[in-house]
Structure formats: C-alpha cells, structure tokens
Amino acid sequence: MEGILVLLIPICICVVLPVMIVWLVTRAKTKRTEKKMDVLVKAIENGVEVDPAMFVEMTEGNPKSVKMELLNKLGIGVMLSLMGLVFIVLAACNVQAFPAWGYYAGIPLLAVGIGNLVSYFYGVRFMRPEIETDEAS
C-alpha cells in the first residue's frame, strides 16, 4: 500500500493537477465566450446595432494593463517559491509524508517561482514608462 502511495502522489501532483487546471481555465473561457455570443445573437435577432469592437474583444480576450500582468507574475512567483520551499524543507526534515520525492517537486517549483519573481522585478524596471502611461489614462 505504501509503495502505491509513493508512486500515486507524485503522479497526481505532476500530471493530474496541471491537466485539471488547464481544463478548468479553458472551460471558463469557452463558457464566457458562449454567453457573449448568445447575447450578441439575441441582439442581432432584435435588430439592435452591434458594435464590431465587441468581436475583436472576444477574439483577443481582455487586454490587461501592464501593471496587472506584473502583479500577477509577482503573486505567482511568491506562491510557487513558498510551495517549493515548503516541499524542500519537509523533505529535508524527513517528514513521513514527504520522502525524497519532495525534492523532485520542490526544486522545480522553487525555480519557476524565482523566475517569475525575477521577471516581475525586471518588468517593473523596464516597463516603467508603460506603467506610468496606463496610470495616467
């Protein structure tokens, strides 16, 4: 039984969890687009003038400001770094639930988190003019 858990937990974390996240995000975007299309179809059926800019927004998605994109990177970087550190510390302390595979999950999480933090700080430095123009308008 313990051998199965040692194999099953990393597979669930590394395979099933990312697949479920991608599926949920894709499903949410599809549902949002379908709702917009339903509203547009009813508006066209009732003879209401439809703005062509709505179609461009649906295909491109919501354009986020540079500041919001950078804040998202900061949040993701902090979360992944903390998760990676927790995995590594628990594996280093020989906690029963975290055998040596804690390093296998912790090191990549920590690396991706640090990468997001670095991109946030460089983004703030180099995108300062765009951030200022977004705040001004």
Domain final residue, candidates 45, 61, 77: 61
Residues 33 and 78 occupy one common structural domain: no
Q: Domain limits at 17?
A: 1-61
> Which two three-digit tokens encode residue 109?
């999480």
Residues 44 and 79 occupy one common structural domain: no
Whole-model pTM above 0.85?
Answer: no
- Burial pattern 57-85, b for ≥16 Cβ within 10 A else e, equals eeeeeeeeebbeebeebbebbeebbebbe
Print pLDDT tens along the chain (137 aa).
Answer: 677 777 888 888 888 888 899 999 999 989 988 888 888 888 888 888 877 776 666 555 555 677 888 889 999 999 999 999 998 888 888 877 667 778 888 899 999 999 999 999 998 888 888 878 777 76
Residues 25 and 88 occupy one common structural domain: no
Coil, strand or helix at 64: coil
Nearest-5° Cα angle at 21, 109 to 83: 25
Domain count, the chain: 2
Residues 133 and 79 occupy one common structural domain: yes
